[in-house]
């Protein structure tokens, strides 16, 4: 049976206790301090991932215990060492390919150096994240009755590995796409190249708020550790497809904007009878904070590579190859993976919920909302 490992890390202090129940009740400062030296550990044993033709794999979630802000603040080498030590745990258990979760794929050069130093091939999982994200983005537009051809879209984090590819995949289907990031020089260069390649109108800005105010459709994929999308900026009946981990969309949007559809774009349904069993506390399940049979798209890409026996560094760095995104989408479908049901703010988005969002948007328009 082919084997994989996937590097996870806590996205917040609450996450630390979910990963390591022994951390419950400890103060924030002490938890941060402990994580400065804490070695990686194996969190979960993954079984039951089975393609429709019967191919099955086995894997492990290994934890590099650093928070997103620590991944950014700590010395690059210190972070690489921690990630490589986590991969080594997977290698010792027999993993043949490794995936990088959340900020372990963002730090430094987006997996290139880690892959060079790793004994097994490494992928960021971004190809499938991009494919799933773009599908979720257009599913959201459809559910809200928005015809993309007439709509302005904004991609926040447009110069990133995920955002850049999403821009190129979204652009042929919308009227106008606005590119947003913080580094203006990089953004301007990326815009120059992209504008020449894509068929729709394009523009760019570093002003997130102004860009979001102009768009019905929003895709966000930044490496920010703070909220980026605020309720005051969203158009009536807007769609926000969220790919970032930790999330970019302020929790206030859930409370203050019942007329807006927010959807996590990077979740996949896993084929077979997947189980994520805690490695040390055998018999109990590891809570991924997702519904049963659901995994992140980046995890799913690593599983697909294991199922297909493609032990190669499939997705690395910031310049994503669009044909590989298309190939990975096709491989994932062949292996039985599909886009997970819509979800946001820890809850499912049912058809009834969509109807409520649409009628809240109608009511807001009738009440004279300007946008």
CA-CA distance, 129 to 133, in Å (whole number)? 6
Residue 296 binds to ligand NAP (criterion: CB under 6 A) = yes
Torsional sign, CA 87, 91, 94, 95: positive
Question: Strand runs (DSSP E) across the chain, as ranges?
Answer: 2-8, 41-50, 56-63, 97-100, 122-123, 152-156, 176-180, 201-205, 217-220, 239-242, 261-264, 267-269, 272-278, 294-296, 338-339, 343-344, 347-348
Residue 204 binds to ligand NAP (criterion: CB under 6 A) = no
Task: Pull the structure tokens for residue 252.
Answer: 């206030």
Q: Which class for 371: exposed (0-12), middle (13-18), buried (19 or more C-beta within 10 A)?
A: middle
Residue 186 binds to ligand NAP (criterion: CB under 6 A) = yes
CB of 155 to ligand NAP, least distance (A): 9
DSSP 347: E
From 182, 189, 251, 280, residue interacting with ligand NAP (rule: CB under 6 A):
182
Secondary structure class of 10 (helix, strand, coil): coil
From 152, 223, 294, 329, residue interacting with ligand NAP (rule: CB under 6 A):
223
CA-CA distance, 140 to 137, in Å (whole number)? 5
From 4, 103, 204, 286, residue interacting with ligand NAP (rule: CB under 6 A):
103
Residue 163 binds to ligand NAP (criterion: CB under 6 A) = yes
Q: Which residue, 188 or 273, is less far from ligand NAP as judged by CB?
A: 188
Q: What character string, x for contact with ligand NAP (CB under 6 A) and - otherwise, covers 45-84?
A: ----------------------------------------
Residue 221 binds to ligand NAP (criterion: CB under 6 A) = yes
Secondary structure class of 47 (helix, strand, coil): strand
CB of 53 to ligand NAP, least distance (A): 25
From 245, 260, 288, 340, residue interacting with ligand NAP (rule: CB under 6 A):
245
Contact stretch for ligand NAP (CB under 6 A) within 27-35, 217-225, 274-282, 325-333: 217-225
CB of 358 to ligand NAP, least distance (A): 26
From 42, 113, 136, 222, residue interacting with ligand NAP (rule: CB under 6 A):
222
CA-CA distance, 98 to 83, in Å (whole number)? 11
Contact stretch for ligand NAP (CB under 6 A) within 32-40, 98-106, 230-238, 302-310: 98-106
Nearest to 137 by CA among 173, 161, 175: 173
- The site for ligand NAP, by CB under 6 A, has a size of 35
CB of 134 to ligand NAP, least distance (A): 13
Residue 305 binds to ligand NAP (criterion: CB under 6 A) = no
Task: Pull the structure tokens for residue 225.
Answer: 């550790």
DSSP 226-292: S--B-GGGPPTT-EEEE--SS--B-THHHHH-TT-EEEE--EEEPSEEEEEEESSSTTSB---SS-T
- Which helix (H) or strand (E) segment holds residue 362: the answer is helix 351-366
From 123, 126, 235, 329, residue interacting with ligand NAP (rule: CB under 6 A):
126
From 96, 161, 235, 250, residue interacting with ligand NAP (rule: CB under 6 A):
161
Residues 6+ away with beta carbon under 8 Å from 74: 36, 66
CA-CA distance, 286 to 281, in Å (whole number)? 9
CB of 7 to ligand NAP, least distance (A): 12
Q: What character string, x for contact with ligand NAP (CB under 6 A) and - otherwise, covers 318-337?
A: x-------------------
Residue nearest to ligand NAP (CB): 160
Nearest to 208 by CA among 274, 257, 163, 169: 163
Catalog residues that contact ligand NAP under the rule CB under 6 A: 102-103, 105-106, 110, 125-126, 129, 156-163, 180-183, 186, 208, 221-224, 228, 243-245, 266, 296-298, 318
């Amino acid at each position: 049976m082919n084997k994989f490992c996937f590097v996870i890390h806590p996205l917040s202090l609450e996450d630390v206790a979910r990963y390591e129940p022994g951390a419950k009740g400890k103060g924030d400062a002490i938890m941060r301090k402990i994580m400065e030296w804490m070695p990686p550990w194996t969190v979960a044993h993954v079984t039951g991932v089975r393609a429709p033709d019967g191919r099955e794999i086995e894997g492990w979630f290994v934890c590099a215990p650093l928070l997103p802000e620590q991944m950014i603040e700590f010395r690059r080498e210190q972070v690489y060492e921690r990630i490589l030590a986590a991969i080594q745990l997977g290698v010792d258990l027999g993993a043949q390919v490794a995936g990088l979760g959340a900020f372990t794929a963002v730090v430094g050069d987006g997996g290139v150096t880690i892959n060079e130093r790793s004994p097994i091939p490494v992928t960021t999982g971004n190809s499938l994240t991009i494919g799933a994200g773009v599908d979720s983005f257009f599913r959201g537009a459809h559910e809200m009755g928005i015809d993309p051809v007439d709509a302005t879209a904004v991609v926040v984090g447009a110069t990133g590995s995920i955002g850049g590819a999403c821009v190129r995949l979204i652009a042929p289907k919308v009227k106008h796409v606005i590119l947003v990031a913080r580094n203006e020089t990089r953004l301007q260069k990326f815009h120059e190249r992209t504008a020449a390649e894509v068929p729709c109108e394009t523009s760019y800005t570093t002003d997130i708020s102004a860009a979001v105010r102009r768009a019905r459709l929003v895709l966000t994929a930044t490496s920010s550790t703070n909220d980026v999308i605020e309720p005051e900026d969203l158009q009536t009946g807007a769609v926000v497809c969220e790919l970032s981990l930790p999330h970019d969309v302020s929790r206030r949007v859930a409370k203050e904007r019942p007329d807006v559809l927010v959807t996590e774009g990077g979740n996949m349904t896993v084929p077979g009878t997947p189980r994520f069993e805690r490695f040390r506390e055998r018999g109990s399940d590891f809570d991924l904070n997702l519904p049963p049979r659901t995994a992140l798209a980046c995890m799913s890409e690593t599983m697909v590579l294991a199922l297909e026996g493609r032990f190669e560094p499939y997705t690395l760095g910031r310049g994503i190859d669009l044909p590989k995104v298309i190939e990975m989408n096709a491989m994932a479908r062949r292996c039985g993976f599909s886009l997970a049901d819509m979800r946001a703010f820890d809850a499912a988005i049912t058809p009834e919920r969509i109807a409520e969002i649409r009628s809240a948007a109608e009511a807001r328009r009738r009440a004279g909302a300007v946008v």
